[in-house]
Amino acid sequence: MEALVIGSGIAGMASAVRLARQGVHTTLASPAPSGHSESVMAAGGINATLSGNDEGDSVDSHVRDTLKGGCGIGGEKAVRGLCEHGEEIIRYLESIGTVFSVDSENRPARRAFGGQSHKRTYYCGSSTGKQIVSALIMEARRFEASGMITRRMKLNFHSALIKDGVCYGALLMDSESFRLEAFYSDFTVMATGGQNALFGKTTGSTLCDGYAAGKLFMQGAELKNLEFIQYHPTTLETAQKKMLISEAVRGEGGRLFFVENGKRVYFMEEKYGEKGNLMTRDLISREIYGCGKDVFLDISFLEGKTIDERLPEVRDLCMKYRSIDIKKEPIPVSPSVHFFMGGLAVHLNHETSIKNLFATGECASMYHGANRLGGNSLLSAMYSGLVASDEIAGRAPHRKYPDFSAYMEDERKGLKKNRDSKSTFPVFYIRDMLSKTMNNNLGIVRCEKNLDEGLSDIDYYLSIAEKIRYDRSVPPYTNFSLKAMLTLAGATIMAAKERRESRGAHYRSDHRDTKDEYAFSTIVSYDDGGYSVRFDKEHSYES
Amino acid sequence: MKVNVLRREARDKHPYWESFIYDGPDDNTVAGLLDYINYNDDIINDKGEKTARIGWECSCMQGMCGSCAMIVNDRPVLACEAFLRDFKEPEITLKPLSKFPVIRDLMVDRSSIHESLIDNNVYIGKYSPQEDKDFEQDYTAAKCLKCGLCIEVCPQYTDGRTFYGAPFANDCYLVASRNRGKTGEIAEIYDEHFKKECAYDLACDRICPVGIKFTASMKKLNSIKRG
């Protein structure tokens, strides 16, 4: 049996290693090494309910918090599976050498995270993602050495090989030779991350552009809950991007304030009490947006030694990029796009609407509903990889593969034709306009008028994209990825338009209430250039 | 500000110099500068000619992934952490790392780092950590970016055929600290591909962008009893 995993961050490596352990030969394909994936940027921690957690904490409590954070549309079965496996995942990560911070009793240490009733976020300083990635790279290396994992780098996803609703692998483009290569597989797992590039520069990686989800959507895969985009409340503006100031700062006691009449106003504490700084990310982002003032995050009251021990990366980042000494002064913060709760619609086993095509990690929509809790993304990246792999390992391989040679020849000819054509319209110009449209019209607060404007912009860009054909100043991938990214952007705005209520990270100034009639996931499908949005009242993806 | 870039279309093409004029913000980094030049509607060189976008790798843009390692005014750096204000020269000159094959412009192929680790079975296997776990050293060692800056400044590293450089020693340390049963085996591999040729110049310690103390790892590996 042969599996193909596309994307080599935490979700991709978790899938590949689990498949290899069960005897499935796996090709792990990605444009860059795992150490370049967005996973290394996950800072704060990973949630789990272990036997030594605080009294009263339990899997049930974690489930309740996650469902509440997701505003009731996270899907209880899926969330329960996620939370029940927290301990197993922490133990597994320890066993492959993840360097968890430890408490005075030499047990993995925990910190408090937003929207949670108990302290259950296990962490590695403030570089939890990087530490997990390093451990998984080492574990994947074991299977690479034994031949069970074949790692292929410098490969970009082009399209899936699909016939009659079944996936048989993918076409990938070598980013050096620009040649298309077919990878046939019995099962294909997408682990390509979120759609950051639709918004230009976010807190995440420049490699996460949403192309794969957009292209698969155009090839027939359904998308889910695209309108739920998490704005992280605390990011630091720098000349090159907005950088995440980890929730760990608030977990360690950090306080948000603005200055009015020369005095600090701790607005979150005033409005929401003692735990105000640890409310959910969507709520804090809206409060910061709504206050209309420069907001700061203060942690300077902590002992310098504690900051050195628990928040060294935050300390260094602020000093390096803004010359801010967090031991002495507050950090200026503002919200920025951070995480996508929406993505490829998957069933409980992480299979998409295309048979034998799976999706894991942030490119899949599962668990987080309308808003994700801090610490649940690393958990879900790991868990989704395990679920998909276990499902695949129990299935039978294809009996035979259809002939895709005509499709591949058409695609190769199309790319050559485009390369040979001349166009004066730069792709980057359209990508810049796309990010302006998305930031302006799909921000923290939305309304019908803005969404209509955004959709009209996207339609216009799509009409231009059809005519560009090829921009010779950029590699082929940047060219052919444009249309699917624009299509994904259009689908996202359509989903936001159809959800005429406010829920979690989706807030509409013209529909401020949460309404029972919308207490379902949105599913978007593509039909020859058109988007069709429905609410999943039958819970078709919760089985 | 004039920016000179050592360019190359592909591995099998000859390198050439091309210059650009940067008129963006002064508080930018080299990564920000490259973005600024690349992401204008068109990319124009200092002669006013349209040209191809400059090839370089980036992902996190904040010193956490190591993609953007390159040479700026003869200093090996991560472009996203190298501020223009820290270069006193009137011009900025960008070159790819010199110890790896160039793929295109400032992009290099660092896969040899990964391959040497696979070929020598540098992985943990059965987890049985040393009793005297050194959290600080383990935590920092696990942050290795495999960016190649330490290899760039290493006086001993040439083509990576026998001597694999500091990233190799670093991962040997991580394995030895986590699998007591593999210390002897890993010490031999470390001797063969690192210790035997290391000149203890320690430039690797000084350049590491995440502050790995390779000397501390080497000390622990050197202290392992050989068979």
pLDDT at B40 over 80: no
Q: A133-137, A455-459, B119-123, B158-162: which range is least confident on average?
A: B158-162
pLDDT at A399 over 90: no
Tokens coding A232 = 């992280």
Higher pLDDT, A423 or A344: A344
Choose the closest CB to A240 out of B29, B53, B103.
Answer: B29
Rounded mean pLDDT of A509-515? 97
Q: SS3 string of A63-79?
A: HHHHHHHCCCCCCHHHH
Question: CATH code at A258?
Answer: 3.90.700.10
B2-7 vs B92-95, strand pairing mode: parallel
Q: Are B56 and B5 in contact (CB under 8 A)?
A: no
CA-CA distance, B41 to B45, in Å (whole number)?
13
Q: Identify the sign of the CA torsion A57, A58, A63, A66.
A: positive
Check whether residue A511 and residue A417 sit in a common domain: yes
Interface A:B, Cβ pairs < 8 A: 134
**Alpha carbon separation from A467 to A421, A423, B43, B50, B51 (Å, rounded):** 11, 8, 21, 20, 21
> Residue A275: which domain range?
235-337
What kind of architecture, by CATH, is found in domain B2-108? Answer: Roll (3.10)
| CA-CA-CA-CA dihedral for A146, A149, A154, A156, to nearest 10 | 170
- pLDDT at position A216: 98
CA-CA distance, B24 to B42, in Å (whole number)?
15
Q: Are A231 and A444 in contact (CB under 8 A)?
A: yes
pLDDT band at A352 (very low <50, low <70, confident <90, very high): very high
pLDDT at A468 over 90: no
What pLDDT digit, counting tens, does each position of A293-336 carry? 999 999 999 999 999 988 988 999 999 999 999 999 999 999 99
- pLDDT at position A421: 75
Give me the helices (H) in A23-85, please: 59-69, 76-84
Total structural domains within chain A: 2
- pLDDT at position A51: 87
Q: Give which of A105, A128, A138 to mutate to test B binding, by max B Cβ within 10 Å.
A: A138
Counting other chains too, the contacts that A300-304 makes at CB distance below 8 Å and 24 or more residues apart are A300/A326, A300/A327, A300/A328, A300/A329, A300/A330, A301/A253, A302/A252, A302/A253, A302/A327
ipTM passes above 0.95: yes
CA-CA distance, A480 to A463, in Å (whole number)?
14
Question: CATH code at A510?
Answer: 1.20.58.100
Q: Give which of B27, B38, B53, B65 to mutate to test A binding, by max A Cβ within 10 Å.
A: B65
What pLDDT digit, counting tens, does each position of A278-298 carry? 998 899 999 999 999 999 999
Structural domain contains residue A321:
yes
What's the CATH number of domain B111-222, 1.10.3720.10, 3.40.720.10, 1.10.1060.10, 3.30.70.2200? 1.10.1060.10
Structural domain contains residue A500:
yes
Structural domain contains residue A94:
no
Q: Which residues in chain B are closer than 8 Å to A141, comparing Cβ atoms?
A: 117-118, 122-123
Domain definitions of chain B by residue range: 2-108, 111-222
Structural domain contains residue A415:
yes
To the nearest whole Å, the CA of B160 is away from the closest chain A CA by 19
What pLDDT digit, counting tens, does each position of A66-108 carry? 999 999 999 999 999 999 999 999 999 999 999 999 988 888 9
Residue where one domain finishes, among candidates A318, A337, A356: A337
pTM summary value:
0.96
* Contact status of B221 with chain A (Cβ, < 8 Å): no
Sole residue written with tokens 């060294």: A312
Check whether residue A327 and residue A418 sit in a common domain: no
pLDDT at A9 over 90: yes
